[in-house]
Every structure is written in C-alpha cells, then in structure tokens.
Amino acid sequence: MVVGLPKSDRKTFPGPGFDEEEVDLIFHALADRTRRDIMGKVSQGEQSISDLARQYEVSFAAIQKHVSVLERASLVTKRVDGRQKLVQNNPETLRRATNLLAEYERIWTHRINAIGQILDQEKTEERKIR
C-alpha cells in the first residue's frame, strides 16, 4: 500500500519536462473564467494591469491577483514600462501545456484501449476497432 506522492517530485514523465508542481499551477491557473478571459485579452496585445482591471467588475487588486496566478504558472510575463507593467502572454508555456495534456490523453487513453481489448474477450469483433 501507499504510494506517497512527495510534495514536489521533479521528473514525473511527459515530454515537455514539467514537474508536478508546475502542472498543478498551470491547470489551476486555467481553471478560472476570469483568468482565461485575461489570457484572451492579453493575446491581442500587451495590456497594463489597470487596462485589464478597467474591463472587469471586480477591483484592481482582484485582477492583480489573477495576473499573479497566471504569472506564477508562467502563462504570462510582466514587463515594466514606466509607471505601468505590461502583461503579455507566454506562448511557450501554453504550447508546453498543450503538449502535456495531449501526452496525458495519449497515455491515459492508449492503455484503456489495450485493457479494453483484454476485458472485451467476449466481444471478439469489437477488438478490431481502430
């Protein structure tokens, strides 16, 4: 019994070389509408935090926190420009995240098919799917 899942284990597996911590951060960052919306807005061009905050009902500080969550996940970066900080998204992380999920899909579903065949012994025809 007992697997353990150490608090932070480098490695894990998929191609892009994420560790579990990063994956947690990325998926968590994406699991919020407002943050996804921010990703969409900054994808159309850098925006200052104030610019962003003006477009939502919530407070400046709330948007600042959302940006911070995206930044910790490396989904956006901030660049200082005079008195403001311009937020831009980071296509690299997004690309890696997409590859990661695709890899998860591949791994998690390939095996189900392999096992599925074993389980479906009685349905011999079904085995030919794909």
Alpha helices in the chain (DSSP H): 20-30, 33-43, 49-54, 60-72, 91-119
Give 126's contacts (C-beta < 8 A, 6+ positions apart).
Answer: 120
What x-and-dash track marks residues 92-111 binding its own copies by CB under 8 A?
A: --xx-xx--xx-xx-xxxxx
Applying CB under 7 A, which of residues 30, 38, 69, 73 lies at the interface with DNA? 69
Determine which residue in the list 14, 16, 37, 64 makes contact with DNA, applying CB under 7 A.
Answer: 64
Q: Is 16 in the site for its own copies (CB under 8 A)?
A: no
Nearest to 71 by CA among 105, 12, 29, 23: 29
Are 90 and 77 within 8 A, CB to CB? yes
Q: DSSP secondary-structure letter at 127? A: G
Q: Between 67 and 86, how does the x/- string for binding to its own copies read (CB under 8 A)?
A: --------------x-----
17 binds, among its own copies, DNA, none (CB under 5 to 8 A by kind): none
SS3 for 60-87 is: HHHHHHHHHHHHHCCCEEEEEECCEEEE
Q: Which does 10 bind (CB under 5 to 8 A by kind): DNA, its own copies, none?
A: none
Closest to 63 (Cα-Cα) out of 27, 30, 35, 39? 35
Site of interaction with DNA (CB under 7 A) = 28, 31-32, 34, 48-50, 53, 57-62, 64-66, 69, 78, 81-86, 127, 130
Site of interaction with its own copies (CB under 8 A) = 1-5, 20, 23-24, 26-28, 30-34, 36-37, 39-40, 42-46, 54-57, 81, 88-89, 91, 94-95, 97-98, 101-102, 104-105, 107-113, 115, 118-119, 126
